[in-house]
Amino acid sequence: MKIDWTTIYRKHGVRNLSQLVNKTGGIRSTGRLLNIPATSIATKLAYEEKELATKPQRILYFTDTHVQPKLETDHLVWIGKHIKDTNPDYIINGGDFADAESLCSHVRNETLEGKSKPVLLVDMGAMDEAMGILNEAAGRSDFHVTLGNHEARIWAFENNNPEISGLLIEKFDSIYEKHGWTYSKYGVYHTVGGVDFTHAPMAMSGKPVGGKLSVNNVASNSIADCVYGHTHMKAEFSVKKFGPDRQVTAINGGCSMPIGYIPKYAQAGSTGYWHGIIEIEVQNGAIKDTTYVSLEKLKRKYA
């Protein structure tokens, strides 16, 4: 019996098998869910990945949104409307979509500043609302997030408080499932068309690579083009490698926090933050073109 892949993709709100496998938990889980032999899925997946590698793929990338209670969300509407207008093949958020200030361990709860932190359910409610805003404005829900160190606070909190093991992560997962979003865990690469996406590449010390010149480090030490966030600064750097037409490009994607917003831990006026989104074209396993679109430009168009 011939498998109607087009109907299956439409039913699950995805565009290809790679997205479907990611959304439903892997080849085996997908096989059980759709009652399709895992061998058929693996064969189809290999074919699609080979085909995608040779065709230009348009990716809308934005990162470090740091959604919080009481923080404005107008810019999310602008981003969503831009997605609807441009209809990219993939939508990737580079992590720290949710700020999770309630679980910040740098500010102790018994301090005056700590007492002003939101409770976790309010934090998650803000994330829930923000995802709904983006879905509605974009007219689609196939967002993928490469979780950042702020979302990783949830996993760290459960690890340090084993009596609540599973409760926070289950709540987090239920919100993602509600909106049809998927995610990769903090520190894990999400690869599209041979290009790696992550919140922050990890150094050999196990710490995230950061700093003003992080793109130099990432491009020099990566084996594939890499797009990441974490520093809130915009930068792009390519390193030539030995061999014909071989190079690695690293892109640091700035941030998508509200225009002018400065986190408490940053010194106003000296951040060097860039607020915007990036349109990335990927082909044959490499970044071929990038267009940087500031939130100011989106505001002029959609506000």
Render pLDDT for 72-87 as a digit per residue (tens, 0 to 9). 999 999 999 999 999 9
d(CA 287, CA 290): 8
Q: Is the pLDDT of residue 211 over 70?
A: yes
Q: Are 49 and 18 in contact (CB under 8 A)?
A: yes
Number of domains in the chain: 2
Is the same domain home to 50 and 85?
no
Is the same domain home to 65 and 46?
no
> What's the gap between Cα 269 and its chain centre?
27
Q: What is the pTM of this model?
A: 0.83
Is the same domain home to 153 and 196?
yes
Is the same domain home to 2 and 76?
no
What pLDDT is stored for residue 196 in this prediction? 95
Give the end of a domain, one of 15, 36, 54.
Answer: 54
Give the end of a domain, one of 18, 33, 54.
Answer: 54
Range of the domain at 36: 1-54
Is the same domain home to 276 and 157?
yes
Which of 236, 268, 269, 239 lies closest to 254, judged by CA? Answer: 236
Cα dist from 296 to 78, 208, 263, 303, whole Å: 10, 29, 19, 10
Is the same domain home to 142 and 30?
no
Rg for the chain, CA atoms, rounded: 19
Listed range (65-69, 205-209, 223-227, 292-296) with the worst mean pLDDT? 205-209
Is the same domain home to 149 and 285?
yes
Compute how many other C-beta atoms are within 10 angstroms of the C-beta atom of residue 18. Answer: 17
Is the same domain home to 88 and 182?
yes
Q: Are 229 and 92 in contact (CB under 8 A)?
A: no
Render pLDDT for 125-144 as a digit per residue (tens, 0 to 9). 999 999 999 999 999 999 99
